[in-house]
């Protein structure tokens, strides 16, 4: 039975990977990776986010870091390709959450 479940999960993964949305997401992701300005901003945001978590855990004031993150994100949002990437990412995440929820609901019904 375990193998059947894994095979069905693999089938769903392939359906997602073959979808137009996923293909477009990968295409845009590859284009963004070649854009030094976008990648630099993304890396800056990631570094700032790590600093924010560290400083927050140490009880330090993090308002200036939050502002800097927001400023960098606003700069990123000026790139149409970045916006399209984030929208596609949200769509794909929603689809995956829906699949996960459907599986959980089905299992709950079968067990109960």
Per-residue pLDDT of the chain (112 residues; tens, 9 = 90+): 778 878 888 888 888 889 999 999 999 999 999 999 999 999 999 999 999 999 999 999 999 999 999 999 999 999 999 999 999 999 999 988 988 888 888 888 878 7
DSSP 26-38: HHHHHHHHT-HHH
Quick count: other Cβ atoms within 10 Å of Cβ 72? 19
Extract the tokens encoding 49: 């986010």
pLDDT tens profile 49-66: 999 999 999 999 999 999
Extract the tokens encoding 101: 């929820």
Can you give the C-alpha Rg of the chain in angstroms?
Answer: 19
In contact, 81 and 28? CB cutoff 8 Å: yes
Quick count: other Cβ atoms within 10 Å of Cβ 63? 7
Helix (H) or strand (E) holding 82: helix 80-111
Cα-to-chain-centroid distance, residue 99: 16
């Amino acid at each position: 039975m375990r193998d059947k479940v894994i095979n069905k999960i693999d089938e769903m993964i392939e359906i997602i990977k073959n979808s137009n949305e996923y293909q477009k997401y990968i295409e845009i992701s590859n284009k963004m990776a070649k854009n030094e300005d976008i990648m630099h901003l993304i890396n800056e945001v990631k570094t700032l986010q790590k600093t924010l978590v560290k400083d927050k855990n140490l009880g330090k004031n993090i308002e200036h870091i939050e502002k800097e993150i927001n400023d960098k994100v606003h700069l990123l949002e000026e790139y149409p390709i970045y916006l399209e990437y984030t929208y596609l990412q949200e769509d794909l995440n929603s689809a995956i959450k829906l699949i996960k929820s459907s599986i959980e609901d089905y299992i709950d019904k079968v067990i109960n």
